[in-house]
Amino acid sequence: MKIAITYQQNEASIAAYLIALIQARYPCSKLHKSKRHPPFTHVYLTIERHETPIDTSPIR
C-alpha cells in the first residue's frame, strides 16, 4: 500500500500527527519526504504486504 500526503508549512503539525498515526499502526512502513515543488512538501509512506493479517480494529 502507498500513501501520499501533501502539505504546506502551516499544515506541518497536522501532517506530523497523521504520519505518527500511520507509523504507529504500521511500524514496518517506509517514509520518503520530498520538497521538490515548493511551497509544498510531499510525504510518501510505503507499507509492505504481510503474509499474516494485521490487526484491523479501528484506531482509538
Please check whether residue 34 lies inside any domain of the structure: yes
Please check whether residue 40 lies inside any domain of the structure: yes
- Amino acid 54: pLDDT: 64
Asked if 5 and 14 count as a contact pair (C-beta separation under 8 A), the reply is no
Asked if 41 and 6 count as a contact pair (C-beta separation under 8 A), the reply is yes
27 vs 52 pLDDT, higher one: 27
Please check whether residue 24 lies inside any domain of the structure: yes
User: Mean pLDDT over all residues of the chain?
Assistant: 89
Please check whether residue 25 lies inside any domain of the structure: yes
Please check whether residue 41 lies inside any domain of the structure: yes
Q: What are phi and psi of 10, to 5 degrees?
A: -70, -10
Residues of the domain holding 36: 2-46
- Amino acid 55: pLDDT: 67
* Per-residue three-class SS string for the chain: CEEEEEEEHHHHHHHHHHHHHHHHHCCCCEEEEECCCCCEEEEEEECCCCCCCCCCCCCC
Number of independent structural domains in the chain? 1
Please check whether residue 58 lies inside any domain of the structure: no
In the predicted model, is pLDDT for residue 4 greater than 70? yes
